Structure 1
Amino acid sequence: MSLLAWLQRPGPMLTPAQLERLQRLPIPTPLSQRPLAEQRLVVLDLETSGLNPQRDQVLSIGAVVIEHGAIDLAQQYECTLQRADQRAGASTLIHGLAPSAIVAGREPAEALLDFLEFLGASPLLAFHAGFDRHMLSRALKQTLGLRLQHPFLDAAELAPLLCPQAELRRAGLDAWTGYFGLQVQQRHHASADALVTAELALILFSRARRQQLDSLHALDQRLQHWQRRQATPSL
């Protein structure tokens, strides 16, 4: 389905200016076979109102860009989304976003459009990407009537593939940052978590090149093969 046809489906009420911005968004590109050093990759982290993917909401988005083999600190995105009905709860102790900060956040449609324009056609990478992908997809569909089509890579899956000697098969971000001696400025803060995930990704890409995996497409293919082998019972 074309982007224009999707926009014409019944959905959220958007202003003409917002619809025009949606129509100008580039078409996401599939994972490329170009060398990793030539890629632009957006590393994403979300803070949410909880861990229920069907009920909870995206509260903040943090993202940083890996381009030309390095983290480009000039390309960063950080935004708190306005949620008028958000109340303090158990998750507030984790992400530290006070209800007053969330009420004062950016209008969700504008915030998500800004993020999509920042993202462009680039693929995404996150740690435990399945959750972030689902939450972002649901936010885009509910707020903009748009289906997320960007490829996603998961650093939590790539790390044990590329570094089996670490013996951290199902470890979290803290375990992997500790293993590589990375420093996290403020854990469970979207921008800080996105930045340390990008640092982890650069280490993983260096390991990948040593294993003759020098493209996002090659990494994804190797990961799928490895996951199939992991799922096959030993005889």
Structure 2
Amino acid sequence: MFGLKHFLSRPGSKLSPDVQDAVEAWRASPPPQLDDAHFHVRYVVIDIVSSGLRPDSDTLLGIAAVGVQQAGMVVPEDAFYLDFASLAGDSDAADRQLLAFLQFLAKAPLVTYHVPYVGGFLQRAYKESLGIDFQPQWVDLAWLLPSLFEEKSHTPQPLDHWLELFGLGGSSEGRRDAMDNTLLLARIFQMLLVRATGKAIDTAARLVAESQASSFLRRHH
């Protein structure tokens, strides 16, 4: 199986002119308004597949993502899956697929479980492939869930534990692929949006801020 590491880190390589133009167009595009209510914001829930847990040295093998719109609606057509093994070491194809994923995201706020892990792999991929400093607005469920659902658990837990608490399966369901995991994260996020709105965390900007605050406070106490 080829991983991203197989064809990234190409000293002196240049992007195709059309890819470079598209990257510059993405850089110039405005981000969405995050002060709107959740109903008007498109979030993107993301999971990845990797060869290990170290973003600086392990291999990114795949990316799965699904859009969440209108305060929790998951639209099947608003989904993206990238399997680097299928690219067979073609660096230009990898550039184009990463660009397509970037365009799919459209600078939306991103939702995942453990931002340092997921974000670390994506940041490295975009830096090495497209020369982009990938710094989106993140919502980290690993820290937000114990902050907003203290009656279930007031400390960070493995994802399978939360899935069991919410009646969505868990470790007993066996191994899941990245898209299955992403859809389960989206279902948890739907419930989290309802809870957040009830606590007056009713915009994307406030949710991102709450995620950052929860992560900081729990890491330092």
- 1:182 counterpart residue number: 168
Aligned pair partner of 1:40 in 17, 39, 42: 42
- 2:5 counterpart residue number: none
Task: Give the 3-state SS of the residue equivalent to 1:169 in structure 2.
Answer: coil
1:54 aligns with 2:39: no
1:199 aligns with 2:187: yes
User: Aligned letter for 2:17?
Assistant: P
Q: 1:144 to 1:118 in 2, by over 3 A?
A: same
**Correspondence 1:17-36 to 2 at 5 A:** 17-25=18-26, 27=29, 29=31, 32-36=34-38
1:164 aligns with 2:150: yes
CA contact (8 A) 1:186 1:193 kept: no
Alpha-carbon distance in structure 1 between the residues aligned to 2:182 and 2:168: 13
Alpha-carbon distance in structure 2 between the residues aligned to 1:201 and 1:121: 18
Task: Give the 3-state SS of the residue equivalent to 2:122 in structure 1.
Answer: helix
User: Aligned letter for 1:133?
Assistant: G
- 1:77 counterpart residue number: 80
Alpha-carbon distance in structure 2 between the residues aligned to 1:17 and 1:186: 43
User: Aligned letter for 1:60?
Assistant: G
CA contact (8 A) 2:160 2:169 kept: no
1:154 aligns with 2:140: yes
Task: Give the 3-state SS of the residue equivalent to 2:104 in structure 1.
Answer: helix
Q: 1:16 to 1:53 in 2, by over 3 A?
A: same
Q: 1:178 to 1:149 in 2, by over 3 A?
A: same
Task: Give the 3-state SS of the residue equivalent to 1:66 in structure 2.
Answer: strand
Alpha-carbon distance in structure 2 between the residues aligned to 1:172 and 1:73: 26
Alpha-carbon distance in structure 2 between the residues aligned to 1:226 and 1:117: 29
Structure with the greater alpha carbon radius of gyration: 1
Alpha-carbon distance in structure 2 between the residues aligned to 1:28 and 1:155: 26
Compute the displacement of 1:225 (Å): 4.2
- Identity over aligned pairs, percent: 27
- 2:203 counterpart residue number: 215
Can you list the C-alpha shifts for 1:136-160, whole angstroms capped at 9, x where unaligned?
0000001111111311110111100
Task: Give the 3-state SS of the residue equivalent to 1:214 in structure 2.
Answer: coil
CA contact (8 A) 2:63 2:178 kept: yes
Structure 1 unaligned segments of length 5 or more: list them.
1-9, 83-100
Q: Report the TM-score when normalising by structure 2.
A: 0.83
Structure 2 unaligned segments of length 5 or more: list them.
1-10
- 2:107 counterpart residue number: 121
Q: 1:231 to 1:190 in 2, by over 3 A?
A: closer
CA contact (8 A) 1:160 1:169 kept: yes
Alpha-carbon distance in structure 2 between the residues aligned to 1:145 and 1:46: 20
